[in-house]
Amino acid sequence: MASFDDLAFTRSSPAAAGEELFCRDCNEVARATTTDGKRCLICGRELERQQPASLEQNGLGTTFDGAAGSVQELQTVVMQLLSQIGGDWNGVDTGARRPASEEAVKNLGSFVADQAATTEVAVIVKGIKGEVIAIPGNFGPCESIEKRNVIIADPFDGASPFRNAQAMKDQIVVMSRGGCTFARKVLRAQAEHAAGVIIIQTVDVWPYTMTDSTGESQNVNIPAFMMSSKHGKGFVEYLRGKHDEDVSADIVVRKDALECIICQVELSIGMKVTRMPCQHMFHTACLHEWLQVGNSCPICRVEIAAKRTRHNDAVNAQNAQQRGDFAWSEWFS
């Protein structure tokens, strides 16, 4: 982690006042030199002497002369510097500002946006603060459900006839994943005149979209949604703790509510989209353009593999050897 010493603006020593040793291959002021101070220790290139760029030239607009600069001025300059190099910089080369590797981009999941990818669903339960996001199934209608009581299916997986079927009319039925297909669970609840279904994910895979691989869902006419395992477990425990009371919920469907944060245009059904490992989703073309500049998610900064920086070092060493220069990197490879 970088210290303030790494960012400090100090006077040059008298011997080196007004000059810096610049490496053309590394394209930066030499961080390490040979003992005679003539060559870059990284690539072996002969160094050039140049006048250091002032803070004015670097766009910071402030200079310091001994104790003349106030603490406030120093803080301002540091914040300006951090804003230029990226506010999340911590002194470690994580690759966050490097282009993503072609292989990493190729391995991202791209697909045509469907109902689940373009719709946001919020479950609001009486007695539970806030809302939890659910994912609609890719079959059946996707409509809001206003203030219905919630009931847990018995059996919980809905894989066999319900023992509490008579209590399901006009209710939101909660079931767990497993035992039978998603469509069959929903059809079984629909036969008992349920208003809708919430299926709880049972494995740690999220987000997850329910699909119909058998063609059973063509007669489904009530909405079905999935809740994550993490939230679903607490939700079911809450419902079981209130078994002597009615618990009502609203399911709010926000269609075309998701947008690509890069271009700020809605994600619409039929568009080609790509999902990052963090599960944030963007228009494929927008994300590919973004990843040519940096290898991190535009929203949460989760990274994918960056182009290898060692490549630049190898090119620099090769250039030095072609000129007949001695490549110090050979000693440290």
**274: in domain:** no
Q: Give the pLDDT confidence score for residue 259 in this predicted structure.
A: 87
Provide the domain limits for residue 167. Answer: 120-253
For residue 83, CA distances in Å to 55, 68, 77, 288, 327 come to 15, 24, 10, 24, 35
Same domain, 132 and 67: no
Query: pLDDT class for 113, splitting at 50, 70, 90?
Result: confident
pLDDT digits (tens, 9 = 90+) for 203-244: 988 888 899 988 999 999 999 999 999 999 999 999 999 988
Q: Between 307 and 84, whose confidence is greater?
A: 307
- Indicate whether 14 pLDDT > 70: no
Cα–Cα–Cα angle for 314, 319, 320, nearest 5°?
100
Please classify residue 27 by burial: count the beta carbons closer than 10 Å to its beta carbon, then call 0-12 exposed, 13-18 middle and 19+ buried: exposed
16-30, 191-205, 314-328, range with greatest mean pLDDT? 191-205
The DSSP line for 242-283 is TTTS--EEEEEEEET--EETTTTEE--TT-EEEE-TT--EEE
In-domain check, residue 260: no
Instruction: Choose the final residue of a domain: 253, 283, 308.
Output: 253
Domain assignment present for 51: yes
| Average pLDDT value over all residues in the chain | 78
Model confidence at 98: pLDDT above 80: yes
The CATH number covering residue 246 comes to 3.50.30.30
Cross-strand bridge partners of residue 23: 28
124 and 48 in a single domain? The answer is no
Residues 86 and 126 in one domain: no
Residue 25: pLDDT band (50, 70, 90) is low
Q: Which residues pair with 28 in a beta bridge?
A: 23
Percent of the chain predicted with pLDDT > 70: 70
Which residue, 193, 226, 253, sits at the end of a domain?
A: 253
Which of 237, 253, 269 delimits the end of a domain? 253
Cα–Cα distance list, 165 to 102, 229, 266, 309 (Å): 54, 25, 40, 63
Same domain membership, residue 89 and residue 124: no
Rounded distance, CA 134 to CA 46, Å?
Answer: 61
Interatomic CA distance for residues 227 and 235, integer angstroms? 9
> Given this model, what pLDDT does residue 159 score?
96
Domain count, the chain: 2
User: Is residue 81 over pLDDT 80?
Assistant: no
Per-residue pLDDT tens for 242-286?
988 999 999 999 887 788 999 998 888 899 999 888 778 899 999
Give the pLDDT confidence score for residue 309 in this predicted structure: 59
Strand ranges across the sheet with 20-23: 28-29, 20-23, 48-50
244/172 same-domain check: yes
> Is residue 64 predicted with pLDDT exceeding 50?
no
Average pLDDT over residues 158-167: 97
Shared domain for 82 and 151, answered yes or no, is no
55 and 144 share a domain? no
**Measured between alpha carbons, how far is residue 329 from residues 31, 311, 316, 318 in Å?**
14, 13, 10, 10
Determine contact, residues 301/12, Cβ cutoff 8 Å: no
Q: Is 309 a member of any domain?
A: no
- DSSP E strands: which ranges in the chain? 20-23, 28-29, 48-50, 109-112, 119-125, 132-136, 145-152, 172-176, 196-200, 224-227, 248-255, 259-260, 265-266, 272-275, 281-283
- Residue 198 placed within a domain: yes
Q: Say yes or no: 156 and 46 in one domain.
A: no
Predicted confidence (pLDDT) at residue 57 exceeds the cutoff of 80: no
Whether 261 is in a domain gets the answer: no
Q: Are residues 149 and 60 in the same domain?
A: no
Q: Does 48 share its domain with 159?
A: no
Residue count of the chain, please give it. 333
Strands 196-200 and 265-266: unpaired
Contact 115, 269 (CB under 8 A): yes
pLDDT (average), residues 285-300: 92
Q: Tell me phi and psi for residue 111, to 5 degrees.
A: -160, 170
Angle at 136 between CA 134 and CA 140, to 5 degrees: 155
The answer, yes or no, to whether the previous bond of 52 is cis (omega within 30 of 0) is no
- What is the per-residue pLDDT for 323? 54
Residues 171 and 242 in one domain: yes
Report the pLDDT value the prediction gives residue 12, as an integer from 0 to 100: 37
Please check whether residue 172 lies inside any domain of the structure.
yes
d(C-alpha 35, C-alpha 19), whole Å: 18
Number of helical H runs and strand E runs in the chain: 8, 15
Residue 299 lies in a domain: no
**Which residue type, as a one-letter code, is found at position 218?**
Q
Tell if the pTM clears 0.85, that is, is over it.
no
Q: Are 76 and 154 found together in one domain?
A: no
